[in-house]
């Protein structure tokens, strides 16, 4: 099978700790950003002032709009802006700012400039909840773009759904945003982009059945939300696969499961439970993946192991390659191609260099910030000059939106499942970043057809 160049390891977004770190714009930037360490949020005055709508926020009737003036469109997000996670947040912010500056330099969206408001939520539910309330009710922004961090997303998602405010891109794989049929209005205003764990679990099952022709699948998963989401997706897809196998007179694929703590002290019993499976899925994010993979190697596993894009990181490669190489093959999913030189990649590199002195040409988190803004801007462009919440949502659903560095995402028919086409990487410590391309981007139907 022809292999494309995929660098999904760069997209290892640590789902439980993804945060945004402020990257202050230069004095001459047209992008406005407000970031107050004490979580004090105010909109910097622009010419004409922030003349946003003053009515109370309703549940989103067709004609409702806020955060849009004759000259500006206001949007916001909150995230931690300090601490050890700055290497994630600083480039993400740079990617967002680069896209904003590009759009504003071209005259904005239908003559309106983009204004970005940001506050430090310290990766805490309390400040994050307070910030969202102020964004919606005080600053009255049009949309939330790049909603960050599992705890804050989990706590604030009901508010997003209740108010109906458009929310584009969730920087976490949390299953609460996963909805295969949001046509009834509940969550129709939300647009997940990066892979959501239940969807990834479905793809795990498809790879196991299609690519690896497994008759038994072993799953070691963590007893937290991420692990539960992986299990949910695997069970969902196996039900479909096994129904088709039964119709063809084939035995059902057996799923053998074992739970471990998110950061397990001992995985011996869990590993023993799944040994002998044709394929093993490591349903854990970075906190416990090294222990799980090391335990599988120590107990003599030889079956191929598949894990999440969250673990497709050079740090994981360095940690586990000495343990598993020569013992079993390790694979991880991927959702972005950052090596194939395209006009989109060249455009990103041109603008990212204007907002950061760092070399971010291949930086996953900067590219993710660019992706988040790309999806938001595409919806604004489609919605036209007379924009409302309702016609923005309809515009997002109108046709698939192309990820500039990966496959398109289709939000039609209430589809809110994030990226549905993933590629597969294989661990290779001799590769420059520890992983090599194995399978190109495919959806579930394509994987099973193979």
Specify the pairing of strand 254-260 against strand 422-427.
Answer: unpaired
How many residues does this entry show for the chain?
450
For 313-332, the pLDDT digits (tens) are 788 899 999 999 999 999 99
In whole angstroms, give the CA distance from residue 217 to residue 332. 16
In whole angstroms, give the CA distance from residue 210 to residue 306. 13
222 three-state secondary structure? strand
For 277-296, the pLDDT digits (tens) are 999 999 998 778 999 999 99
In whole angstroms, give the CA distance from residue 403 to residue 371. 7
- The DSSP H or E segment spanning 167 is strand 167-171
In contact, 433 and 10? CB cutoff 8 Å:
yes
23-40 as b/e: b if 16+ CB within 10 A? bebeeebebbbbbeeebe
CA-wise closest residue to 177 among 202, 203, 149, 204 = 149
Percentages helix, strand, coil for the chain (3-state, rounded to 5) are 40, 15, 45
In whole angstroms, give the CA distance from residue 309 to residue 11. 7
Q: Could you tell me what percent of the chain has a pLDDT over 70?
A: 83
Q: Which two tokens stand for residue 13?
A: 């977004």
φ and ψ at 83, to 5 degrees? 95, -165
pLDDT-derived band at 247 (thresholds 50, 70, 90) equals: very high
Q: How much is the pTM? A: 0.83
Residue-level pLDDT at 56: 39
In contact, 328 and 304? CB cutoff 8 Å:
yes
In whole angstroms, give the CA distance from residue 440 to residue 7. 11
Q: Which two tokens stand for residue 197?
A: 């764990």
- Top pLDDT among 297 and 43 is at 297
- Those residues whose C-beta lies under 8 Å from the C-beta of residue 390, and which sit 6 or more positions away, are 60, 61, 62, 63, 64
Quote the mean pLDDT of the chain.
85
Assess whether pLDDT exceeds 60 at residue 137. Answer: yes
pLDDT-derived band at 350 (thresholds 50, 70, 90) equals: very high
Distance of CA 69 to the CA centre of its chain: 30
Assess whether pLDDT exceeds 60 at residue 367. Answer: yes
Specify the pairing of strand 167-171 against strand 305-307.
Answer: unpaired
143 three-state secondary structure? strand
φ and ψ at 216, to 5 degrees? -135, 140
In whole angstroms, give the CA distance from residue 350 to residue 334. 24
Assess whether pLDDT exceeds 60 at residue 2. Answer: no
The structural domains of the chain, ordered by start, are: 8-195+340-414 (3.40.50.2300), 198-334+422-449 (3.40.50.2300)
Distance of CA 428 to the CA centre of its chain: 24
Assess whether pLDDT exceeds 90 at residue 7. Answer: no
pLDDT-derived band at 83 (thresholds 50, 70, 90) equals: low
Q: Which two tokens stand for residue 242?
A: 């096994």
Q: Is the dihedral of CA 63, 143, 42, 158 positive or negative?
A: positive
Q: Which two tokens stand for residue 91?
A: 């480039």
Q: Is the dihedral of CA 154, 156, 160, 163 positive or negative?
A: positive
For 18-63, the pLDDT digits (tens) are 333 223 333 333 444 543 333 333 333 333 333 333 333 333 455 7
Q: Could you tell me what percent of the chain has a pLDDT over 90?
A: 66
Residues linked to residue 119 through DSSP beta bridges, in sequence order:
78
Assess whether pLDDT exceeds 50 at residue 4. Answer: no
Q: Which two tokens stand for residue 182?
A: 């949001």
In whole angstroms, give the CA distance from residue 258 to residue 72. 52
What strands lie across the sheet with 143-148, from one edge to the other? 113-120, 72-79, 143-148, 167-171, 190-191
Please, where are the H alpha helices in 193-342?
A: 197-210, 225-247, 268-274, 286-298, 314-324
What is the tally of helices (H) and strands (E) in the chain? Answer: 12, 12
Q: Average pLDDT for residues 346-369, to the nearest whole number?
A: 90
If you ran DSSP here, which 8-state letter would residue 107 be given? T
For 207-231, the pLDDT digits (tens) are 999 999 999 999 999 999 899 999 9
């Amino acid at each position: 099978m022809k292999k494309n160049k995929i660098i999904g390891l760069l997209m290892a977004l640590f789902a439980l700790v993804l945060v945004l770190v402020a990257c202050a714009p230069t004095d001459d930037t047209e992008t406005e950003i407000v970031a107050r360490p004490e979580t004090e949020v105010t909109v910097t005055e622009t010419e004409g002032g922030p003349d946003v709508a003053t009515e109370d926020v309703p549940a989103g009737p067709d004609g409702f709009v806020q955060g849009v003036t004759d000259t500006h469109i206001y949007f916001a997000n909150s995230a931690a802006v300090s601490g050890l996670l700055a290497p994630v947040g600083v480039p993400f912010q740079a990617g967002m700012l680069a896209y904003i500056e590009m759009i504003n330099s071209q005259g904005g969206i239908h003559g309106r400039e983009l204004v970005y408001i940001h506050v430090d939520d310290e990766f805490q539910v309390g400040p994050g909840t307070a910030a969202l309330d102020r964004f919606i009710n005080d600053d009255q922004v049009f949309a939330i773009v790049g909603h960050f961090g599992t705890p804050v997303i989990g706590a604030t998602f009901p508010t997003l759904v209740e108010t109906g405010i458009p929310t584009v891109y969730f920087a976490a794989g949390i299953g609460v945003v996963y909805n295969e049929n949001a046509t009834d209005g509940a969550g129709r205003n939300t647009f997940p982009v990066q892979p959501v764990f239940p969807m990834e679990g479905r793809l795990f099952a498809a790879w196991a059945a299609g690519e690896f022709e497994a008759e038994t699948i072993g799953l070691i998963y963590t007893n937290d939300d991420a692990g539960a989401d992986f299990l949910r997706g695997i069970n969902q897809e196996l039900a479909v696969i096994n129904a088709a196998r039964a119709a063809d007179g084939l035995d059902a694929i057996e799923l053998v499961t074992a739970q471990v703590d998110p950061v397990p002290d001992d995985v011996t019993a869990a590993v023993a439970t799944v040994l002998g499976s044709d394929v093993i899925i490591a349903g854990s994010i970075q906190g416990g993946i090294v222990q799980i993979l090391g335990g599988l190697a120590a107990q003599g596993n030889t079956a191929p192991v598949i894990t999440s894009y969250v673990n497709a990181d050079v740090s994981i490669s360095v940690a586990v390659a000495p343990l598993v190489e020569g013992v079993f093959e390790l694979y991880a999913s991927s959702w972005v191609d950052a090596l194939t030189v395209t006009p989109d990649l060249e455009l990103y590199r041109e603008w990212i260099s204007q907002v950061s002195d760092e070399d971010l040409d291949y930086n996953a988190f900067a590219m993710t910030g660019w992706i988040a803004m790309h999806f938001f801007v595409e919806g604004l462009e489609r919605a036209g000059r007379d924009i409302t919440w309702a016609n923005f949502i309809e515009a997002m659903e109108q046709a698939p939106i192309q990820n500039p560095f990966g496959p398109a995402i289709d939000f039609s028919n209430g589809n809110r499942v994030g990226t549905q086409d993933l590629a597969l990487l294989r661990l290779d410590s001799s590769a420059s970043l520890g992983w090599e391309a194995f399978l190109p981007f495919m959806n579930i139907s394509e994987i099973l057809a193979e």
